[in-house]
Structure 1
Amino acid sequence: MNKLNLKPIERVSKISKEDFVKNYFIPQKPVVIEKLTEDWPAYEKWHLNYIREIAGDKIVPIFDGRPITHEQKVNEPHLHMKMSEYLDIMEKGPSSYRIFLYNIMKEVPQLKEDFRWPDIGLNLVKQLPMLFFGGENSKVFMHFDIDYSDILHFHFHGKKQCIIFHPDQTKYLYKVPHALISHQAIDFDNPDFERFPALKYAEGFITELNHGEMLYMPEGYWHYMKYMTPSFSMSLRSLPKKPMFLAKAAYNVFIQRYFDNFMRKTKGKAWMDEKNQRAISETHKNLGIEV
């Protein structure tokens, strides 16, 4: 089995605001904080049965692991169902079904009482606490976020594997043009180095998040998530500080996604095939790789 060049993400039990800012935020270094949530009501309450009790009747967006096609808009779900029905599927066994970027707080405001905005030195965007759910073995494709934010990623109920890369590793990750993802044919658990040889040079980080743990991902980091057990996560975010990333975020939000949706509609499958081919050819050309 082929293996990526990954180092364990540094871990601390607890940390002061001053040490977090000095040792991780300023140098833009990832870290797992293990006990940041222990005094939150969510630490005791946030399990799947609790979500079922308070949000079981809500209709939720479902992504099912299929590759993105021209028939979808950016971040468009594959289907919708009741949260209770989704949780039933999750608990029966392995499933590719995921909930992605779901603002459940808007529909179930009482969830806001279960967590505390951490005083950790980040100017967090208070309007955007998003939740993510996944069944055993479901995967979130390698991508970076549209707004290049600093992210605090909290995990609950089970276990989740996270593989992340610094933005300077983009040249090795087969980024798809006009998109925020790497080539969808890459299996980051067992990469094909013959088809995607640039991956051999990428240097990243890996960790497994357990219930209540928080992963800090600095702005613009690539991330690939795999749910080891049925579980869910919450992300809080702070807008990027680097002017370059702010400019890129504005371009992504106001131009790129609309352009990409337009091209999917007008050129269809040919547009998606062209982007995937360019992800490979341009990566190899820029690195001087001959295949």
Structure 2
Amino acid sequence: MGKFNLQPVDRVKGISKEDFVKNYLKKKRPVLIEGLTDDWNEKWRFDYLKEIAGDQIVPLYNNEPTKGNKSSYEPVAHMKMSEYIDKLRNEPTDLRIFFYMVKDNLPQLEKDFEYPDIGMNYFKRIPALFFGGSKAHTFMHYDIDLGDNLHIHFEGHKRVLLFGPEQNTNLYKVPMSICNIETIDMNNPDFEKFPALKNAQGFEANMHHGDALYIPGEWWHYISYINGGFSMSLRALPQDPRRFLGMMYNVFFMRHLDYYIRKFRGQKWIDFKEKWAYRKAHKKLGIKTD
């Protein structure tokens, strides 16, 4: 096992709109901004969510990779929001809530936050919430819409690993997918089995209540919850033509084609793609692969 070559993400406080646009948005460089949500984040606590949404039945996901022809969007369980929050507070769990749409499920929250004025052209239809317990983590991925993401954390503490799109091969990007090989343990990478990982260079961010992390479009991110918490994602759709076309390809062609092939070929299709990613990375390194 080894450790990734990581440097701390820039951490700033009181950044101006002009400085953010110049130094981070235009350069597509991640940054963690402290204090950006101080005017409104104190209300964003578990107690408030229990008060306004405690009776909602929420879909839950875990850390297990999806197998065969099962959809990755199929939850492993359902639970009342109040019961789930109690579980996050009182016991270790890997159960997560994924992309819980604010407008569709918790529209009353729209009056409880502001879109930070830092130069991002937000797509205001899709603010979404993400929850996780102290054993939960996401898979390593980049967002399918290739949009810029302002990721704001509440309660608890979590760790985020970030890698630029130039690291695709070093991370064993799976073809026709937005993730890498799911058997890779991003917390304890196995450099013997996956030697290309030694070449991956990225950033690390440690997030606390109210922190806002700018994740540029196409950037890989892996999130592990140190203790129970939740976050909100504010997104901006890609503006430049190349990324916009990439988003259209991903959303309207690639994911549907992958879904139908997987539906009929099941685990054989997953194994084929992962072997493809493995061989591609090792070919770049000059390593012969069986």
TM-score range, shorter chain: over 0.9
> Aligned partner of 1:2: which letter?
G
Report the TM-score, using the length of structure 1 for normalisation. 0.96
Paired AA for residue 22 in structure 1: K
Match of 1:18 in 2: 18
> Residue 155 of structure 1: SS of its match in structure 2?
strand
Aligned to 1:275: 273
Q: Identify which range, 118-127 or 102-111, moves more after superposition.
A: 102-111
Aligned partner of 1:249 in structure 2 is 247
CA contact (8 A) 1:219 1:240 kept: yes
Q: What code does the residue aligned with 1:96 have?
A: D
Aligned to 2:128: 130
Hey, what does 1:180 align to over in structure 2? 178
Q: Which residue of structure 1 lines up, in the alignment, with residue 221 of structure 2?
A: 223
Q: Please tell me whether the aligned partners of residues 149 and 239 of structure 1 are also in contact (alpha carbons under 8 angstroms).
A: yes
Matched ranges for 1:140-151 at <5 A: 140-151=138-149
Q: CA deviation at 1:207?
A: 1.1
Answer whether contact 1:74 1:257 (CA < 8 A) is retained. no
Match of 1:52 in 2: 50
* Residue 5 (structure 1) aligns with: 5
Tell me the residue number matched to 1:236. 234
In the alignment, the residues of structure 2 paired with residue 76 and residue 251 of structure 1 have an alpha-carbon distance, to the nearest angstrom, of: 23
Share of identical aligned residues, percent? 49
Cα deviations by residue, 1:149-183 (Å, 9 ceiling, x for unpaired): 11000000110100000111111011111111110
Contact 2:174–2:180 (CA under 8 A) maintained in structure 1: yes
What does residue 191 of structure 1 align with? 189
The CA distance in 2 between the partners of 1:249 and 1:76, in whole Å, is 23
Cα distance in 2 between the residues matched to 1:10 and 1:24: 10
Count of residue correspondences: 289
Q: Deviations over 1:21-70 (max 9, x none)?
A: 01111111111100000011xx1111112111111111212111111223
Q: Deviations over 1:235-276 (max 9, x none)?
A: 001112332221211111001111111111111111111112
Unaligned runs of 5+ in 2: none
Please state whether the residue corresponding to 1:171 is helix, strand or coil.
coil
Which residue type is aligned with residue 181 of structure 1?
A: C
Aligned partners of 1:63 and 1:78 also within 8 Å: yes
Gaps of 5+ in 1: none
**TM-align CA RMSD:** 1.3
Which shifted more, 47-56 or 239-248? 239-248
TM-score (norm 2): 0.96
CA distance in 2, matches of 1:175, 1:88: 36
Most deviating of 228-237 and 69-78: 69-78
Kept in 1, the 8 Å contact 2:69–2:264? The answer is no
